[in-house]
Amino acid sequence: MAVLVAMLILLVSLLSPSYSEESFDVRQHLSTVSSYGAGKVIAHNGFVPSTIPEECTPIHINLLARHGTRAPTKKRIKELEGLADRLEVLLSEAKQGEEKGNVSMEKIPAWIWGWKSSWKGKQTGGELISKGEDEYIYTIIATQVPRASASAVAFGMGLFKGKGNLGSGQHRAFAVISESRARDTLLRFHDTCGNYKEPAVNQIKEPVLDEVSSSLVRRWGLNFTRQDTASLWFLCKEEASLLDITNQACGLFTPDEGYGKSINYRMGIPLLQDVVQSMEQAIKAKEEYQTPGTYEKARLRFAHAETVVPFSCLLGLFRESEGTEFERIQSEQPLELPPKPPQKRNWRGCGNKDFCPFETFKEKIVNPHMGQNYDSICNIKLEQPVSSSPVTAKTLSSGVVSVPQRM
């Protein structure tokens, strides 16, 4: 009997090209904010794809994708407008400092003078833009957030164009399924997990922001605060991913700034269980010679950075190789904080290969997590707060740690 292959695709744009200062392009280092277009131009340093055995036949695809490129949300638009006012204050302070001989205005980048937000006055925010729609060609399941469901629709329109009889594009009808935000433990576990709280996330991010802020003050002679730094980093990501501008806000930072920490990745266990279950059902149906079309050939999910990043951590894709950090996580041994970027990353699961037998995937990646229960992770009140140092696998599995995609 032919060997059956169930494919798992993690569509994320968590990019990790080799690094040199001369060729550094921030658009390829923006985690889930990186556009798929930026990902296409990255060389994989001689990586040779695995040869798929001839007896293998694809029968099922599992996809987890972040929604497409979006505009800033209304909250973020307001923040950027406030940043423009804040920059005027900093420039005024710098002028006064120059008059006293304390500051050199020559350090200040020219773009800061008179800078205004490109989204000033915009009344809506967070929607999927046309650039994001072009990045997709599939769909089935999405969160209730409009940009995620819009991505799913765009994906489906591309997939089914020319395969139906609706309109000049010969489209066909398709459904996008969404779960209530309050109950969506698969794609919005970061919202439904009771033990994951934003204040704790911010507390762990603050020392990193303070460190970067001090560097910016020394480098540019403006008294940037922690909030200024956070806003400027957000502006860098928006300018780079949406406007292809990399020499303004992004130019304030060095390549090793913008550091992310770990997260309570075990919140994604229900999603991992769902992935494995759907793949097992497809394999079983094929082995039982069920009629094609009577079993699921694809389960396609459209969610958010807060879904994809923890799930990639759960799979161990952010760790370097087998036998090291990922096995230490699984065996509850102490774990050091990850190194600052840019770093080469191993995004392949089984022996640094892009082809992984399903049984090997379950044995090495899935089974070590199956002793955990979502309710005990998220809904049982923790007796003690998580210490930020040292970080251990036990604290990662039961505590609250910070989100790795935004600093």
Same domain, 184 and 136: yes
Is residue 173 situated within a structural domain? yes
CATH of the domain at 350: 3.40.50.1240
Same domain, 95 and 183: no
Same domain, 329 and 294: yes
Element (H or E) spanning 405, and its range? none
Spell out the alpha helix ranges (H) of 315-391.
325-330, 358-361, 374-378
Strand ranges across the sheet with 141-142: 3-11, 56-66, 298-303, 141-142
* The domain boundary residue, chosen from 98, 125, 152: 125
Task: Tell me how far CA of residue 50 lies from CA of 1, 4, 22, 62, 352, in angstroms.
Answer: 22, 16, 31, 19, 10
Distance of CA 393 to the CA centre of its chain: 21
Is residue 349 situated within a structural domain? yes
Same domain, 286 and 183: yes
Is residue 95 situated within a structural domain? yes
> Among residues 166, 134, 190, 186, which one has the least CA distance to residue 302?
186
Sequence length of the chain is 407
Same domain, 182 and 79: no
Same domain, 78 and 187: no
Same domain, 120 and 264: no
* The domain boundary residue, chosen from 107, 125, 143: 125
Same domain, 294 and 331: yes
* The domain boundary residue, chosen from 108, 125, 142: 125
Is residue 340 situated within a structural domain? yes
Same domain, 87 and 188: no
Q: Is the dihedral of CA 126, 131, 135, 137 positive or negative?
A: positive
Is residue 207 situated within a structural domain? no
> Among residues 397, 392, 351, 391, which one has the least CA distance to residue 370?
397
Structural contact between residues 366 and 276, judged by C-beta atoms closer than 8 angstroms: yes
Same domain, 114 and 138: no
> Among residues 129, 144, 140, which one has the least CA distance to residue 35?
129
Q: Count structural domains, the chain.
A: 2
pTM of the full structure = 0.62
Same domain, 359 and 288: yes
For residue 285, what are the contacts with CB-CB under 8 A and spacing of at least 6? 294, 295
Domain around 181 = 57-69+128-192+260-374
Is residue 30 situated within a structural domain? no
Same domain, 186 and 77: no
Is residue 97 situated within a structural domain? yes
Is residue 8 situated within a structural domain? no
| Dihedral angle of Cα 226, 232, 235, 237, to the nearest 10 degrees | -80
For each of the chain's 407 residues, which pLDDT tens digit applies? 344 556 676 654 443 433 444 577 877 777 667 776 666 665 555 566 777 788 888 888 888 888 877 788 888 999 999 999 999 999 999 998 887 777 788 889 999 999 999 988 887 777 766 555 444 633 468 998 888 888 888 888 888 888 877 788 888 778 888 888 888 888 888 888 877 766 666 776 788 899 999 999 999 999 999 999 999 999 998 998 888 899 999 999 988 775 433 346 778 889 999 999 999 988 888 888 887 767 788 888 999 888 888 888 788 776 555 556 666 655 545 456 556 666 665 556 776 677 788 898 898 888 888 877 778 777 766 444 443 333 333 222 222 222 333 32
Structural contact between residues 306 and 190, judged by C-beta atoms closer than 8 angstroms: yes
> Among residues 14, 82, 63, 41, which one has the least CA distance to residue 302?
63
